[in-house]
Amino acid sequence: MSFTTQMDAAKKGIITKEMRIVAGKENISPVNLRDLVASGKVVIPANRNHTNLMPIGVGEKLRTKVNVNLGVSKDCYNIELELDKAKKAIALKTDAIMDLSCYGKTREFRRKLLDISPVMIGTVPMYDVVGMLDKDLKDITVDEFFSVIERHAEDGVDFMTIHCGMNRATAARVKRNKRLTNIVSRGGSILFAWMELNNQENPFYEYYDRLLAICEKYDITLSLGDACRPGSIHDSTDAAQMEELITLGELTRHAWQQNVQVIIEGPGHIALNEIAANILLEKKLCHGAPFYVLGPLVTDIAPGYDHITSAIGGAIAAANGADFLCYVTPAEHLRLPNLDDMKEGIIASRLAAHAADIAKGIPGARDWDNQMSTARADVDFKRMIDLAIDPEKARKYREESIPECEDTCTMCGKMCPMKNMKKILNGEQLVLAD
């Protein structure tokens, strides 16, 4: 039996090879996974032109996934450096990479990235529109917008962020309800400007079926972007954000009718006490579609430390049902991240995701922690370092401060409770004095 997309296959009762691979990774039966894909609660982004992809599932009952953003810009145009970042991100076990390139030979970089990446690749085609077409924003036509979408699809991109929910009604609400930070979505602000300059509807909303046809043709997962995501905790959960979310829910159902997989994108900056409500609203209004959050950042005062504010918010969001975390680096709001920034962001987001998976009761999530605890009880520093989420850093710290006794550390020394408790419980003598 033939099928067009993973969702189409699932609805027809077919278990694809991608579903079998994902099920094996996630400790879930292929049949249960197929049913979740059919219902839209799990997506498997897998463009049929991304030939070296190792498929990954995102959504309900699966491990929380982490995305890394990278890409070239006018001020930092270095394709090789960005490819090095991608290789490092893959080595650090990211689940996805988004290419946010917005200047120069974006297609050259995108194709090289797809060639080296076994993880799913996402893009925001709107970033590519002005540079690729080399035209003033006002003069870009609807057909030209879609030509960029088609090019990204042909190249093999697995998921695309498209701001379909920023229609004229939502744009009017933004203007009526003053925000502290207006629209902070780069793609959303470009689209808003085009709509204002031309006095026209959002082409991706007006011609949504045309977009869905491209997604179905290549089996691209549509990541419905949140143009109105809050850029400050002052603006979170406001009228514009909620109106757009309602629209995204309607667009989700229509995409599912065309067998197109959907992810919903979310905030952004949001206070701790609003996170659970935001997740609940997304899951209700968008019918259980996987939720992809940027952070969220829980305070606005931490330039240089936003990987921490993001990890705090990400852990709470994922524990409450968010499925996909977009990493944030220490360079957020300040500059393009370097390799070290990227590593800090990945580790912070992976920790948030893992902590949430423990809280959600994902099968096997606690196994890693139990192994680490066993190594600590055995005072086995080599094993502890090997099990660390960042063995390189753990090894460096250990080697920088060597204890007198190898089976202790320089904080506790002979007073090491792990070592001493084992001795006492084994009936051995304990000597603490020098």
3-state secondary structure the chain: CCCCCHHHHHHCCCCCHHHHHHHHHHCCCHHHHHHHHHHCCEECCCCCCCCCCCCCCEECCCCCEEEEEECCCCCCCCHHHHHHHHHHHHHCCCCEEEECCCCCCHHHHHHHHHHHCCCEEEECHHHHHHHHHCCCHHHCCHHHHHHHHHHHHHHCCCEEEECCCCCHHHHHHHHHCCCCCCCCCHHHHHHHHHHHHHCCCCHHHHCHHHHHHHHHHHCCEEEECCCCCCCCHHHCCCHHHHHHHHHHHHHHHHHHHCCCCEEEEECCECCHHHHHHHHHHHHHHCCCCCEEEECCECCCCCCCCHHHHHHHHHHHHHHCCCCEEECCCCCCCCCCCCHHHHHHHHHHHHHHHHHHHHHHCCCCCCHHHHHHHHHHHCCCHHHHHHHCCCHHHHHHHHHHCCCCCCCCCCCCHHHCHHHHHHHHHCCCCCCCCC
Q: Please compute the mean of the pLDDT values over residues 2-13 and round it to a whole number.
A: 97
Say if residue 385's pLDDT is above 90: yes
What percent of the chain clears pLDDT 90, i.e. is strictly above it? Answer: 87
Q: Please compute the mean of the pLDDT values over residues 333-356 and round it to a whole number.
A: 97
Return the higher-pLDDT residue of 404 and 212: 212
Say if residue 191's pLDDT is above 90: yes
Taking only the tens place, the pLDDT of each residue in 216-250 is 999 999 999 999 999 999 999 999 999 999 999 99
Please tell me the predicted confidence (pLDDT) of residue 424.
78
pLDDT tier at 330, thresholds 50, 70, 90: very high
Taking only the tens place, the pLDDT of each residue in 30-77 is 999 999 999 999 999 999 999 999 999 999 999 999 999 999 888 888
Please tell me the predicted confidence (pLDDT) of residue 433.
67
Taking only the tens place, the pLDDT of each residue in 125-170 is 999 887 778 889 999 999 999 999 999 999 999 999 999 999 999 9
Please tell me the predicted confidence (pLDDT) of residue 28.
97
How confident is the prediction for the chain on average, in pLDDT? 95
Please tell me the predicted confidence (pLDDT) of residue 29.
98
Taking only the tens place, the pLDDT of each residue in 264-284 is 999 999 999 999 999 999 999
Q: Please compute the mean of the pLDDT values over residues 182-192 and round it to a whole number.
A: 95
Structural domains in the chain, sorted by start:
45-360 (3.20.20.540), 367-425 (no CATH)
Return the higher-pLDDT residue of 415 and 25: 25
Q: Please compute the mean of the pLDDT values over residues 97-125 and round it to a whole number.
A: 94
Please tell me the predicted confidence (pLDDT) of residue 416.
81
Please tell me the predicted confidence (pLDDT) of residue 422.
82
